[in-house]
Structure 1
Amino acid sequence: MTRAGLAALALLSAATAQAGDFFTLKGHGGPVMAIAVAADTGRIATASFDNAVGVWSDGGVPMWLDGHRAAVNALTFAGPDRVVSAGDDFGVRLWDLAAGTSRELTRHAGKVAALALSPDGRFVASASWDGSIGLTDLATGESRRLKGHEAGVNAVVFTPDGDLYSASADGTLRLWDVEAGAERRLVLRHGFGINRLVLNAADGWLAYGAVDGVTRVLDLAADAPLADFTLDRRPILAMAYSQRADRLAIGDGEGYIMVIDTDVWRIARDFRATERGPIWALAFSPDGGNIHAAGLDPVVYSWPLDTLDAHGQMAAETPAYLRDPADMSNGERQFARKCSICHTLTPGSARRAGPTLHGLFGRPAGTVTDYSYSATLRGSDIVWSETTINALFDEGPDHYIPGSKMPMQRITEQTDRTDLIDYLRRATAPTGD
């Protein structure tokens, strides 16, 4: 199916969805890892494990932005017609939505976990697991690095005057002088990695969420804790703030969305949004009336805050990789663990991170028409067979097909590889036998 055909299938489930309505956004082929909202237009951008960015407008079809070579973890609007995205391919890309083009701004030496736009719109900051923070000029493309963290950087947020807060897996929260390219001070040292930050400079507070479940708010003037909403749920994976609604939302690894009234510092809502699995991403609508959220399934859910628990949980089917291993043969279990999140077994790739495996045996690599391959696979002479599939998982994709999009993984036991191949031979056969 063509890209246009796929886009036509990926409609908003509520064609005229407005803030205050419950609606969903469907079309991605993998879990949605980040959500951004344009304050002026309400357009929603979504970043997914399927290597793509979707840009959604009310009553329309998504614009698909394909250019990353691995999962997309972070994105931000950089004006009405520009989006910046970054992910597991170490790259930061700038998209011109009007022209439908993109260019790579900079590359890190590790995955990029978060992005932030400077108040003047000039710079984008990129938090990377290589331990550095990238500062890239959107106009010139000039990029430099802030270094000082001792582990991966998970979150960044600009202050109104252009300084930058950063949080890291090393458990520290730091403040940087962007102009000088130097650390101003170590704000705090938490015992566990810090995953997310939200800043309200006008009211003088900074909230952070950590691996150990700590959800804490700092009074910046007093340099002391202002409020603590830590519950026995971990890790904290998502945070979002609406100044118009005076609401702070927190998503955790157990599938809860906690909404805090920041005017009086109390919990206004505490909603179990998923039956199983985490909340990966949160964002408010521009008026603060809706909270957009994403978990394990490839769908964004948007709940009105006033009726948050009246529309039910995320209604995801159990993904193959989360099924009980006791209910599967060893070959199917290997597929579920290693392959199912990226590949379908049915005709059509469904915007997954990898092509469909339907009709796999005897197929030349790089030839599924509805999937965008790397140049490495498009130019490959590999034909998929018992021998080549065995070699792929024996050596690992990074050695067997260097430069492809396939993640680094091996199946070390020959019996497991044999069982997987036997399962794939049956499950991918066009006739089903």
Structure 2
Amino acid sequence: MLRPAAPALALILALAAPAAAQDLRGHGGPVRALAVGEDGLVYSGSFDTRAILWDGATAARITRHHTGAVTAILPLPEGRFATGGQDGVVAIWGDGLVTLHSEELHPMPVAALAAWEGGLASGGWDGRIALWSGAEPPRFIDAHEGQITGLVAFEGGLASTGADLSLRLWDASGAPGARIGLAAPVSSLATDGRAFFLASPDGTLRRIAPDGSGPEAALSDRPLLSVAAAEGLLAAGDMTGTLRIIAPETLEVLAEIETGQGPLWTLAITPEAILSGGNDGLIRRWSHAGAPLGTGPAAPETTLVSPRGAEVFRACAVCHTLTPDDGARAGPTLHGIFGRRIATAPGYDYSPALREMDIVWTPETVSELFEFGPEAYTPGSRMPEQRIPSAEDRAELMKFLQTATR
């Protein structure tokens, strides 16, 4: 039964406000990177450009350095850690969040970071691995044709996967070792120190020993996005938010959890828990058997009218609020967007490309943004590529925004 339309403020709070009870909450956009240090501390990076060091469930230290999403994070000795970004920059952080070193190592996004010989290795979309101590100039390896999709430390050296359908091994000096051909692309790479685990967009998980042998399992009809491995434990996450706990030797699925987080971009394993980073900006905690260890997201609001436009907006609410306060999310508030020139909302750090554009946001221009996609309509922005193919859905979204953003 339809209820009378609620006041605009109530509708805003129902659709855009963050849930009150969650596990690790601190990011304002999809969580793209997770890592656990030897001291058990959790590190995370997000599309909101922030890196967070967690003390339990508290965001103890937060930093912003990259001009795009934080796509990789790596704990280092002596309380340091490294971040890699969509901007191709790798930064090394000291205690107290002092930036010890920062350098653009890749002309394209950083795909992964791994420990290497007293320093770190970064793999980029440019197909190169950079070996960097943070002090001496970096050395580069032309590792793959096309982008690197995974990079892990293994037996004193490195292992990498790339768009050229290969798994490659490198010794401690960066010299090439074995090259193993792959049957499918790789979206995420992990190792337990004995074998490699490759998650693929075709929904298949593969276990590959250094000699190239090993089983595979078709886990899903949706793309696998993430995989994490530890001794005796394996976890994989897919596009729909399903987390699977898996036996590493046989790839038998031991537990299957519907996290409700949307795409699971990243996973990590601690001695006590499995951590899942999702499209909702949350980091949820699960026991090794699959039981939830946190409170999880609150139940969705059901008491207000939810027209089609409001439903379409739910995907936008991950990064944007509708109130004057941007809520520290990845994107600027949409409050008062219509009639406003692009890249002029106060308090938000826009990319230089957007500041140079001459667009005024109207229902027509916002609709065109979602018709053609940000890469074509606002090139150089940090907005992830997304389109709304349905003209009816775009029209309903504009109707909703015209009311909710006033």
Give the 5 Å matches for 1:84-123: 84-101=82-99, 103-118=101-116, 120-122=117-119
Residue aligned with 2:291, SS = helix
Map of 2:9 onto structure 1? none
Moved more, 233-242 or 362-371: 362-371
Cα offset, 1:154, TM superposition = 0.7
Which gives a bigger RCO, structure 1 or 2 (Cα 8 Å, sep 6+)? Answer: 2
1:135 to 131, 137, 142: 131
CA distance in 2, matches of 1:261, 1:397: 40
1:274 to 259, 273, 290: 259
Map of 2:308 onto structure 1? 328
CA distance in 2, matches of 1:109, 1:381: 23
2:229 to 210, 218, 241: 241
C-alpha contact 1:198 1:208 (8 A) present in aligned 2: yes
Cα offset, 1:70, TM superposition = 1.8
Q: Tell me whether 1:309 sits opposite 2:304 in the alignment.
A: no
CA distance in 2, matches of 1:103, 1:318: 43
CA distance in 1, matches of 2:197, 2:171: 20
- Structure 1 pair 408–291 and aligned structure 2 pair: CA distance change class (3 A): closer
C-alpha contact 2:36 2:43 (8 A) present in aligned 1: yes
Map of 2:12 onto structure 1? none
CA distance in 1, matches of 2:384, 2:219: 35
Letter in 2 for 1:115: L
Map of 2:32 onto structure 1? 33
- Structure 1 pair 316–72 and aligned structure 2 pair: CA distance change class (3 A): farther
Unaligned runs of 5+ residues in structure 1 are: 1-9, 14-22, 320-325
Cα offset, 1:108, TM superposition = 1.7
- Structure 1 pair 346–98 and aligned structure 2 pair: CA distance change class (3 A): same
TM norm structure 2: 0.77
CA distance in 2, matches of 1:411, 1:276: 21
Cα offset, 1:174, TM superposition = 1.1
Map of 2:165 onto structure 1? 171
C-alpha contact 2:23 2:57 (8 A) present in aligned 1: no
C-alpha contact 1:258 1:269 (8 A) present in aligned 2: yes
RMSD: 4.1
C-alpha contact 2:111 2:125 (8 A) present in aligned 1: yes
C-alpha contact 1:169 1:195 (8 A) present in aligned 2: no
Q: Tell me whether 1:350 sits opposite 2:327 in the alignment.
A: yes
Q: Tell me the alpha carbon deviations over residues 126-148 of structure 1, each in whole angstroms, 9 at most, x when there is no partner.
A: 222222222222223x2233224
Map of 1:4 onto structure 2? none
- Structure 1 pair 313–260 and aligned structure 2 pair: CA distance change class (3 A): farther
Cα offset, 1:67, TM superposition = 1.7
Residue aligned with 1:277, SS = coil
C-alpha contact 1:256 1:270 (8 A) present in aligned 2: no
Q: Tell me the alpha carbon deviations over residues 239-260 of structure 1, each in whole angstroms, 9 at most, x when there is no partner.
A: 22223xx212222334333333
C-alpha contact 1:274 1:313 (8 A) present in aligned 2: no
CA distance in 2, matches of 1:410, 1:304: 36
Map of 2:11 onto structure 1? none
Unaligned runs of 5+ residues in structure 2 are: 1-17
- Structure 1 pair 151–385 and aligned structure 2 pair: CA distance change class (3 A): closer
- Structure 1 pair 112–200 and aligned structure 2 pair: CA distance change class (3 A): same
Map of 1:258 onto structure 2? 244
Cα offset, 1:25, TM superposition = 0.3
Letter in 2 for 1:159: F
Map of 2:153 onto structure 1? 158
C-alpha contact 2:150 2:189 (8 A) present in aligned 1: yes
- Structure 1 pair 271–335 and aligned structure 2 pair: CA distance change class (3 A): closer
C-alpha contact 2:342 2:361 (8 A) present in aligned 1: no
